Amino acid sequence: MTSVFSVDRVSFQYPTGRRAALSDISLEVPSGELFAILGPNGSGKSTLLQVMLGELSGAKGAVEFMGQPIQRWSRRAIAAQVAFVPQGEPMAFPLTVRQLVEMGRFPHVGILGRTGPEDRAAVDRAMERAGVQELADRVISTLSGGERQRARIARALAQEPSTMVLDEPTAALDLHYEMETFELMRGLAADSGFTVVLATHNLNLAARYSSKLVLLADGRIQATGRPESVLTDETLEKVYRWPVVVAPHPGPGPDAGSPQVLPLRKQT
């Protein structure tokens, strides 16, 4: 099995930080799977993504993407391979959904290149797959949080990457769009060789959709592996400092039996 990202003993400390944001992180993201990064607030999920994507430099240890050190990739070359979906971005100027999605073609077109029919086709395919083709001419600021998120996913799809990285993609979404987003990610990871990496707070959906996950706390890996080996009540109570029970999902569905986390109420 080949690895897309391989992270080897990475530590990182912000210049203003009092302690390390990441300590001695080693992990392999296997190709063609849905990989979830879990952990409490401030556990280092976003920092880990930033280090993996080469956005933060100055980390100790080594990060490789497709066998090459991440800092050696040119921005354009890696953007044709990895798409990133941010949590949200404030829009200073009015922009339509189509204009936003077209920006995903930059790694293929470049600064001076002309956009051709294949670029327009890629934009249309991306909008259709993310379910925003009806919103194409709407201005972003008039959309709901869920619609904006799908527009950003469409932009990432227009990059035609082999790997997609998402930072808490469903934080602002209701049940319907949250499920749709996970279904879309599952569908993408089902394509041959397509890898999805996502950071999320939703333990239960991560358990049902991902094939491998890593649980962070205080910048360290607490557990990693298949959902049923990571999401145990013992580990979770330690990491989240809250009593939980873990029970198998009752089904029906392909994910029946996957571990589901129920936080308990305090005894009165």
Partner 1 sequence: MIVRLLFFGLALIVAAVVALMVGDVEFPVREFLLAFRGEADPATQTIVIGLRLPRVLLATLVGGGLAVSGAVFQALLRNPLAEPYVLGVSSGAALGAVIAIVFGLTIGSVIALPLFAFGGALLAMFLVLFMAGGRGRGMDTRVLLLSGVVIAAFFNAFLLLVINFANVETFREAVLWIMGSFVGASWEGVITLSVYLIPAFLGLVLLARPLNLLAVGEKSAFHLGVDVRRFKLILYVVTSLVVGICVAGAGAIGFVGLVVPHALRLIGGSDHRWLLPASAIAGALLLVVADTIARTILAPAELPVGVVTAIIGVPLFLWLLLKSEETR
| Among 83, 123, 127, 130, contact with partner 1 (rule: CB under 8 A) | 83
Distance CA 253, CA 250 (A): 9
Contact string 158-197 vs partner 1 (x = CB under 8 A): -x--------------------------------------
Size of the residue set binding partner 1 (CB under 8 A) = 32
- Residue 103 engages partner 1 in binding (rule: CB under 8 A): yes
Distance CA 158, CA 152 (A): 10
Distance CA 133, CA 74 (A): 31
Strands annotated E in 144-185: 163-167
- Whether residue 131 contacts residue 143, with contact meaning beta carbons closer than 8 Å, is answered with no
* Cβ proximity to partner 1, 105 vs 212, nearer residue: 105
Distance CA 130, CA 150 (A): 6
* Cβ proximity to partner 1, 75 vs 265, nearer residue: 75
| Among 86, 131, 146, 243, contact with partner 1 (rule: CB under 8 A) | 86
25-54 residues in contact with partner 1 (CB under 8 A) are: 53
- Whether residue 139 contacts residue 151, with contact meaning beta carbons closer than 8 Å, is answered with no
To partner 1, the closest distance from the beta carbon of 102 in angstroms equals 9
Distance CA 24, CA 48 (A): 11
| Among 58, 92, 267, 268, contact with partner 1 (rule: CB under 8 A) | 92
* Cβ proximity to partner 1, 39 vs 161, nearer residue: 161
To partner 1, the closest distance from the beta carbon of 54 in angstroms equals 9
* Cβ proximity to partner 1, 100 vs 221, nearer residue: 100
To partner 1, the closest distance from the beta carbon of 39 in angstroms equals 21
CB-count burial class (<10 Å; 0-12, 13-18, 19+) for 203? buried
- Residue 100 engages partner 1 in binding (rule: CB under 8 A): yes
Distance CA 130, CA 156 (A): 10
| Among 20, 62, 66, 95, contact with partner 1 (rule: CB under 8 A) | 95
- Residue 136 engages partner 1 in binding (rule: CB under 8 A): no
197-256 residues in contact with partner 1 (CB under 8 A) are: none
* Cβ proximity to partner 1, 95 vs 179, nearer residue: 95
To partner 1, the closest distance from the beta carbon of 260 in angstroms equals 33
| Among 80, 143, 171, 172, contact with partner 1 (rule: CB under 8 A) | 80
Integer CA distances (angstroms), 90 to 44, 85, 200, in order: 23, 14, 21
On the CB side of 146, CA atoms within 13 Å amount to 11
208 is written with which tokens?
A: 């049902």
The alpha helices in 163-240, defined as continuous H runs, are 175-190, 203-209, 227-230, 233-240
Phi and psi dihedrals of 6, rounded to 5?
-130, 125
- The residues binding partner 1 (CB under 8 A) are 53, 55, 74-80, 82-84, 86, 89-96, 99-100, 103-104, 106-107, 109, 111-112, 155, 159
